[in-house]
A and B are shown apart, each in its own frame.
Chain A
Amino acid sequence: MSNIKNGWENIDEFIGIPGYGITSVEKFIKGRSATIYSKVRGIFIRDFIFKSLAFLFIILNLLFYVDHTTVMVLNVVLFALLILFAFIEIRYYRLFRQSADPGKSSKENLTSLLTYLERKFPLSTALRSTTYLLTFTSGMMFYFFIEYGYLKPFTAVSIFVYSFICFTGMLFGYLIDMKQVSYHIKHIKICLSDLNDNALAMASEAIELKRKKDVTVLILMQVLILLGLIVIVVILKAKIT
């Protein structure tokens, strides 16, 4: 197997493609764009795995808590939210894949990746942070059924602890993903400026054009997530205590 791959390693030089001679800088940049793509893709895949887990918990809860109307309603709400967020997430994932089409040149690839990560990624990260809320809440209900056979009543302290864990989990999830991506953004900017082109200026212009609109949508999304959390807490407190 390695013989086959080794033979292919020098294929560009072997054919002597006219004017194709890729420089080591370009090779490095191409490599970087592929690495960044796979890292960001990893973030999406991790989220899809957690969403699947939440889906599994919700389905099991719907089966186990069939006699508990309130818990059933709560799980139906969680299910609806999960489907809605998964649908939006898939849309973002498609946009991400389009932005990193390997058929493009390194410059185009990095420019569109930068535009995506600067413009779309914060919003999709805010959405992804809700996965924690969905997985934790459904997982908690599942745990209570397995351990006690019913959902234990919530006291003021347990509601506080539950809200604190949910909020911290979502916040940390958001911050960790954003921090990781901010490192990639920085790296892409360095790579683009190394290409000695107007690519960085063009990408910055495209990003600035829509930034204000994106910030408004992001704030609205965060308010909605917070409202969702409050609604779940209120349902839990009002019906289960």
Chain B
Amino acid sequence: MDGSKRNKKEFVDLIENNKGIIHKIALTYSSTNADKEDLYQEICLQLWRSFSKYRGESKISTWLYRVAINTAISTVRKKNRYIETVELDPDRHYQVKDAEKLEATNNLMRAIYKLDNIDRAIILLWLEEKKYEEISEIMGLSRSAVSVRLVRVRKKLEEKLKKIENE
């Protein structure tokens, strides 16, 4: 197997194993299904472009989050679109049996959309159970900056969530 073929296989495996992460980032930065799909494709493209430059200096997941979040933020900035609600796929049979749970996730996403781009990334990484060190590595912030900002963002998110739930 030559280098490019092996690279391609490794990359396909990487995307396959981490598509959950990419989809979550795409959802956090776009609400309509078409936008989500576009962003997913854009993230995959950027990952492929920078894959050959990955030198293993950080964990592969850290690198992947960093590239995906930067791509998502720059794409959203270009479009400069304000997101208010989440568009659910009408053709999809949602597996969440409990309507309350579906509503809780919907409300959370609506609250997340009200945050700015950086805060959204920080809260996404926190929800994905990333440690402060890893969040700081992905976001290029100091550990203390992440810690301070996270407290503020969580408080802000809770307030927005409460407001949405009371609507």
Which A residues contact B (CB, under 8 angstroms)? 1, 3-17, 19-22, 101-105, 108
Give the distance in Å from the alpha carbon of A15 to the alpha carbon of B109 in the complex.
11
Chain B residue nearest to A97 (CB atoms) is: B59
A15 touches B24 (CB 8 A): yes
Contacts of B105 in A (CB 8 A): 7-11, 14
| Distance of A37 from chain B, by nearest CB (Å) | 12
| Given A17-B19, A20-B19, A103-B18, A7:B61 Cβ within 8 A | no
Contacting residues, chain A, for B135 (C-beta < 8 A): none
Q: Which residues of B contact A102 (CB under 8 A)?
A: 59, 61
Indicate which residue in B27, B64, B96, B104 contacts A3 across the interface (CB closer than 8 Å): B104
Q: Is the CB of A15 within 8 A of B23?
A: yes
**Cβ–Cβ contact A3 & B161, under 8 A:** yes
Q: For the A-B complex with A4-B157, A7-B108, A8-B108 known, give 7 more contacts whose Cβ atoms are closer than 8 Å.
A: A3-B161, A11-B127, A14-B94, A14-B105, A16-B92, A103-B18, A103-B59
B56 nearest in chain A by CB position: A98
Residue B71, interface by CB 8 Å? no
**What are 7 A-B residue pairs whose CB atoms fall within 8 Å in the complex?**
A9-B105, A10-B105, A11-B27, A11-B105, A14-B96, A22-B20, A103-B17
A14 closest partner in B (C-beta): B105
Contact with A along B135-167 (1 / 0, CB 8 A): 000000000000000000010011001000100
Q: Residues of B contacting A5 with CB < 8 Å?
A: 127
| Contact (Cβ within 8 A) B154 A1 | yes
B60 adjacent to chain A (CB < 8 Å): yes
Question: Once the chains are docked, how many angstroms separate the CA of A103 from the CA of B21?
Answer: 10
User: For B92, what are the chain A residues with a Cβ–Cβ distance below 8 Å?
Assistant: 16
Min distance, Cβ B138 to any Cβ of chain A, angstroms: 12
Do residues A105 and B17 form an inter-chain contact, with CB atoms below 8 A? yes
* Residues of the A chain whose Cβ atoms lie less than 8 Å from the Cβ of B102: 10, 14
In the bound complex, CA of A20 to CA of B27 (Å): 15
**What 1/0 mask marks residues of chain B from 85 to 126 whose CB sits below 8 Å from any chain A CB?**
000010010111000011011111100000000000001000
Highest count of chain B CB atoms <10 Å: which of A1, A14, A20, A21: A14
Could you tell me the distance in whole angstroms from the C-beta of B86 to the nearest C-beta in chain A? 8
Q: Tell whether, in the assembled complex, residue B161 and residue A4 are in contact, meaning their CB atoms are under 8 Å apart.
A: yes
CA distance A103 to B66 in the complex (A): 13
Residues A16 and B89 in contact in the complex (CB < 8 Å), given A7-B107, A10-B105, A103-B18: yes
Taking a contact as CB atoms under 8 Å apart, the answer to whether B158 and A4 are in contact is yes
- Asked whether, in the complex, the Cβ of A20 is within 8 Å of the Cβ of B23, the reply is yes
| Binary contact track B25-46/A, C-beta < 8 Å → 1, others 0 | 0010000000010000000000
Contact of A4 among B17, B62, B127 (CB under 8 A): B127
Closest partner residue, chain A, to B126 (CB atom): A4
Chain A residues lying within 8 Å of B161, measured Cβ to Cβ, are 3-4, 7
Rounded to whole angstroms, the CA-CA distance of A17 and B36 in the bound complex is 11
Q: Which residues of B contact A12 (CB under 8 A)?
A: 20
A9–B101 alpha-carbon span in the complex (Å): 9
Give the chain A neighbours of B18 by CB distance below 8 A.
103
A31 CB to closest chain B CB (Å) equals: 12
Q: In the complex, what's the smallest C-beta–C-beta distance from B83 to chain A, in angstroms?
A: 15
CA distance A210 to B8 in the complex (A): 29
A85 to chain B, nearest CB (A): 25
Set of chain A residues within 8 Å of B94, measured between Cβ atoms: 13-14, 16
Q: How near does chain B come to A211, taking the closest CB pair, in angstroms?
A: 26
Report chain B residues within 8 Å CB of A8.
Answer: 105, 108, 127
Q: Which of A6, A10, A17, A108 contacts B23 (CB 8 A)?
A: A17
B127 engages A6 (CB within 8 Å)? no
- Kindly report which residue of chain B lies nearest to residue A3, judged by CB atoms: B161
Q: A103 near B61 (CB under 8 angstroms)?
A: yes
